[in-house]
Amino acid sequence: MLLLQQAINGVMLGAVYVTMAVAFTLTIGVLNFLNFTIPALFMVAGMVGWSLVTNGLPFGLVGHLHWAPALLIGIGCAVVLSVVIEQLSYRFLKARHGDATEHAIPLVSSLGFLLIIENLVRVRFGTDMRAFASPFQGISWNLGGILISIPQLASLVLSLLTVFGLSALLRGSKVGRAIRAIAENPEAAAVVGVDVRKIVPVVFAATGLLCGLAAAIYALNYGEVAPSMGDDIGTKAIAGMVLGGLGSIWGAIAGGLLVGLTEAFSIQLFGSDAIQASVWGLLLLVMILRPQGLFGHSAIGKGKF
Amino acid sequence: MSGYLNGLLALLCIDVMFAYGVFLPVMTGQINLGGAGFQALGGYVAAWLATTYDCPPWMTLPLGALAGAVAGLAIALPLARVRGVYLVLATIAFGQLVTGLILASPSLGGAQGIAVPSFVGLPVILPLTLLVIVACFYLCATRLGLAMRAVHDDEAVADLMGVSARAMQVVSYTLGGAIVGLSGALYAHQFGFVQAQGFDETLSVYVLLYVLLGGVQTAWGPMAGTCCFVLIPELLRNVLPGLAGMVAAIFGLPIGEVKIDDSWRLVILGAFTVAMMIWRPQGIVTRTLIEHLARPLGVFAKRRAA
């Protein structure tokens, strides 16, 4: 019974990781680009939401906002910021240096943006953890001795629905086909008439949306935000992505949930100090035994990055 | 020499050594984003040996370096068949695993850290750092260094010419791991204290940025990058607040007390990174820059003619 309860907690915990891992896997699968601004986007959405609830809009336009519009604006900020970063870094660098770049230019540039955004937020709001007054805390559903937190369940469903919707769009819509064509081969996609310059921002907007959603789920379920919240969650989402296999959306879902489960069970078995060791130990083990991850195919992430 | 200057120079030396350890994998076109894990390993091996077995520093320092080398070999060897971004991700995982294991083991002090009894000062650190720098310069001039460089420039062609790309990568991670491990051991003895939280992912990111922004074409880069980003903020810490106050006074801005804290330093580092990636992705020091600077001295004149 206790194990089942832990399994449920783990899956709930995985909701945030799944959403972020899909964001990572999308940019790496389509653009072969490990985007380190994702933790910053996650944090910005959460901090903007918190600031609007606590301080209201800037310039004293409106007083304290309700949590729902505040978080929606937070998600919007993450989307806009992601697209702006694409214009400033990824597109600009590709146009300037071409594809055969000195290695890792976009990756290093995204590390630079991570530093800028995180520390600007620290300058503005300080480094403290902030309480996000969640309206739903403590509502849970008792199912024969097993507690299921309703908001966590709702978050899990919401994040899975978003990811499924995204995957359906990738499969069915015209934009989705164009994105998959770029993932396959950017030059060939351009030759057959895909406007790469218009499609790539869509990928970044989707990344921002997923990060914002993850931040909203995190803020509502755990009742806190902090300028450093992206670091821990972001690295664990990377772990989830690699576990599932780079570039695979189903892999990211499975990997994110697996990270959540590992975390919950290692708390149960070894105490909370052992979380980091078990998650990353598992990841290294999987990387050595099955480097392409659970669902990945080995073509992605090879060559110069 | 004042205590402040002494401590600053020791920290600079340790950071420069760390940067050279991160530089070696970069030389073969790989990226080590788990440098802090290697440093934590070296530091904790030294600290543990010094506290439990009363080992003197002349034993703990080589063993710390050895631990780093073994870790580098252990991570690069099984992962030699994966490439590109996977190896980067593996180094992130390794760094997290090391600090995670330390946090989870009560015998290593967990989150409290370990106090290290024996002290190693600048008279040891400075020569060792110079030794590492000279060794890296020498490496760049050897056949091995050229082979590593060739793998960086084009793996397929290097393989075709009989240079094993995998072997070069494994060698670079092993040597780099040893250097970073040594820097960790020196850190433990210099500051008398190690704590897992001090070796987090952000440290790996900073040092990697020092190396990449310094330039990876020559062995000058890591030194240039680290000196720039460790020394300049240290100077600005004293100069910048006064300057900002002056500007505020001129424009009559109501800034009472301008506080330049660490966050601004990192914002500037980030902005500089983004700008460098746009205008000079090859880093501050490049091969052509060295040639330009050396030309008046006539160093390259003969080689050109030959």
Chain segment B3-54, per-residue pLDDT in tens: 778 888 888 999 999 999 999 988 888 888 888 999 999 999 999 888 888 8
Give me A85's structure tokens: 């970063």
**CB-CB under 8 Å, B110 with A273:** yes
Give me A138's structure tokens: 């403590």
Interacting residues of A223 by C-beta distance below 8 A, sequence separation 6+ = A131, A132, A133, A134, A137
d(CA A82, CA A209): 9
Note whether residue B111 is domain-resident.
yes
Mean pLDDT computed over every residue of chain B: 82
Q: Which parts of chain A register pLDDT below 50?
A: 100-101, 301-305
Please state the ipTM of this predicted complex: 0.83
Residues B31 and B142 in one domain: yes
Question: Which residue from A minimizes the CA distance to B106?
Answer: A273
**CB-CB under 8 Å, B110 with A287:** no
Residue with more model confidence, B14 or B80? B14
Domain boundary residue among B150, B177, B199?
B199
A91 touches B at CB < 8 Å: no
A97 touches B at CB < 8 Å: yes
> Domain range holding B296?
229-305
Nearest-Cα distance to chain B for A163, in Å, is: 23
Note whether residue B206 is domain-resident.
no
Chain B residues within an 8 Å CB radius of A111: 205, 208-209, 270, 273
Question: Which residue from A minimizes the CA distance to B103?
Answer: A273
**CB-CB under 8 Å, B263 with A122:** yes
Note whether residue B143 is domain-resident.
yes
Note whether residue B218 is domain-resident.
no
**Per-residue pLDDT tens for B133-163?**
999 999 888 888 888 888 887 778 888 888 8
What is residue A227's predicted lDDT score, i.e. its pLDDT? 85
Nearest-Cα distance to chain A for B171, in Å, is: 18
Nearest-Cα distance to chain A for B305, in Å, is: 30
**Per-residue pLDDT tens for B164-194?**
888 888 899 999 999 999 999 999 988 888 8
Residues B11 and B122 in one domain: yes
**CB-CB under 8 Å, A287 with B88:** no
The domain total for chain B is 2
Residues B85 and B21 in one domain: yes
Residues B179 and B92 in one domain: yes
Give me A2's structure tokens: 């206790």
Residues B74 and B187 in one domain: yes
Residues B176 and B235 in one domain: no
Query: Is the Cα dihedral B201, B204, B206, B209 positive or negative?
Result: negative
Residues B122 and B244 in one domain: no
What is residue A302's predicted lDDT score, i.e. its pLDDT? 46
**CB-CB under 8 Å, A281 with B97:** yes
What is residue A32's predicted lDDT score, i.e. its pLDDT? 77
Residues B195 and B61 in one domain: yes
Q: Where are the domains of chain A?
A: 2-126+146-289
Is residue B258's pLDDT more than 70? no
Compute, in degrees rounded to 10, the torsion defined by CA atoms A40, A46, A48, A50.
-150
Taking residues B283-288, what's their average pLDDT?
81
A280 touches B at CB < 8 Å: yes
- How large a percentage of chain B has pLDDT more than 70? 88
Residues B234 and B162 in one domain: no
What is residue B41's predicted lDDT score, i.e. its pLDDT? 92
- Give the number of beta-carbon pairs within 8 Å between A and B: 151
A88 touches B at CB < 8 Å: yes
Note whether residue B211 is domain-resident.
no
What is residue A304's predicted lDDT score, i.e. its pLDDT? 41
A113 touches B at CB < 8 Å: yes
Residues B130 and B173 in one domain: yes
Residues composing chain A = 305
- Which of A105, A242, A273 is closest, CB to CB, to B277? A105
- Which of A231, A273, A281 is closest, CB to CB, to B103? A273
Residue A195 sits at the vertex; the CA angle it makes with A194 and A200, to the nearest 5 degrees, is 105
A274 touches B at CB < 8 Å: yes
What is residue B68's predicted lDDT score, i.e. its pLDDT? 92
The CATH class that applies to domain A2-126+146-289 reads mainly alpha
Q: Which helix (H) or strand (E) holds A42?
A: helix A38-55
What is residue A305's predicted lDDT score, i.e. its pLDDT? 38
**CB-CB under 8 Å, A238 with B89:** yes
